[in-house]
Amino acid sequence: MEQQNKVRKPKLEPEGQIAFLRGKGVAFKRMGEADAMRYLSRESYLFATYAYRTLFPRRVGGAHDGEYVNLDFGDLVDLERLDRDLRTALLPLTLDAEHLAKQRVLDEVATRPAEDGHSIVRDYMASLPHDERSRREEEISRLQRDEYSGDLQRHYAAEMPIWVLLELSSFGTVADVYRFCANRWGDRHMLREHYLLKSAKGVRNACAHSSAIINGFGSASHGAHPAPYALTVALRDAGFSKSSRESMMRNPRLQQIASLLFLHRRMAEGTALAGEASAVLRSLANDIRSVLSVTHPDASAKASMEFLAELVDCWF
């Protein structure tokens, strides 16, 4: 309790929020204080908007120690809106990836004589550890009273074919079924896509919950696991240097987004979904460059955003 009291911060009235930002070195040249107060009252809130301060350097020493350098409130607004545009662009891609993963599994089941659509569900559930199987069963059982999936769950509760299991499952379960099928059929391509699907799930969760994404593009946000080999090769073939690949893929958020873009490009090739994604992502790349023309984040954040725009140019 004593520790909690030390970090407790007071509630700030609108005027106090502006004063707080001024004390952190935030300027109000691009957006005046009255408009900033209106923005924080009508369009967003301090905690969300101030999150993008992490992309700017801070002064060290002197009378202004700890204040942010070259940070205007308008920069925070531009980055927050860009982040919203990023989430709006990426969320449909994650939904496409989930849909196409289901399609791939069901197409394989339909064309494999040894598969009847029911035994694969029994075998999948039997392959799970007891606790994990219980969680899967509970996940589906909870849908009994769901307005959208309840009828389907109740109708197939006794014996569920694979097409129903996939329809009732969360993204995580769909990815896990994909892994099971890859191993069942000895399909290495599917197995590699499974790992990309896990990254897509992370992006989907961030987008669906309106989590800030861009604020993790700064120099302090590194520590991802090594990028999947297929993604590394794809980035190399797209013309990114080894140093650029290694630097960008150390950022876990960039790695997840790049994995999603690569997966969507791979799975949606030749479909209408590919064209729809291209149009949205190209607009996003233009938005990124437009924001960077007026804001001045630290070198790492700028490089991360430029990388994302270039990746769209290369793949879409």
Residue-wise pLDDT tens digits, 58-105: 998 887 788 999 999 999 999 999 999 999 999 999 999 999 999 999
CA distance 18 to 21: 5
Work out the number of other CB atoms within 10 angstroms of the CB of residue 187. Answer: 16
**Host H or E run for residue 283:** helix 272-292
53: DSSP letter: G
pTM confidence score = 0.92
Tell me the pLDDT band of 250, cut-offs 50, 70 and 90.
very high
* Per-residue pLDDT, 4: 54
For residue 48, give the amino acid letter.
A
Point out the least confidently predicted range of 135-139, 164-168, 236-240: 135-139
Token pair in block for residue 276: 């729809």
CA distance 179 to 301: 34
CA distance 37 to 14: 6
Tell me the pLDDT band of 186, cut-offs 50, 70 and 90.
very high
Q: Is 86 exposed, middle or buried (0-12, 13-18, 19+ CB in 10 A)?
A: buried
Tell me the pLDDT band of 293, cut-offs 50, 70 and 90.
very high
Point out the least confidently predicted range of 37-46, 105-114, 213-222: 213-222
* CB within 8 Å of 146: residues ≥ 6 apart: 153
- Sign, Cα dihedral of 315, 231, 93, 151: positive
* CB within 8 Å of 303: residues ≥ 6 apart: 247, 248
* Per-residue pLDDT, 1: 45
Tell me if 40 sits within 8 A of 252, measured CB to CB: no
Residue 68, classed as helix, strand or coil, is: strand
Percent of the chain exceeding pLDDT 90 equals: 90
Percent of the chain exceeding pLDDT 70 equals: 97
pLDDT 10s digits, 201-234: 999 999 999 999 999 998 655 667 899 999 999 9
Average pLDDT of the chain? Answer: 94
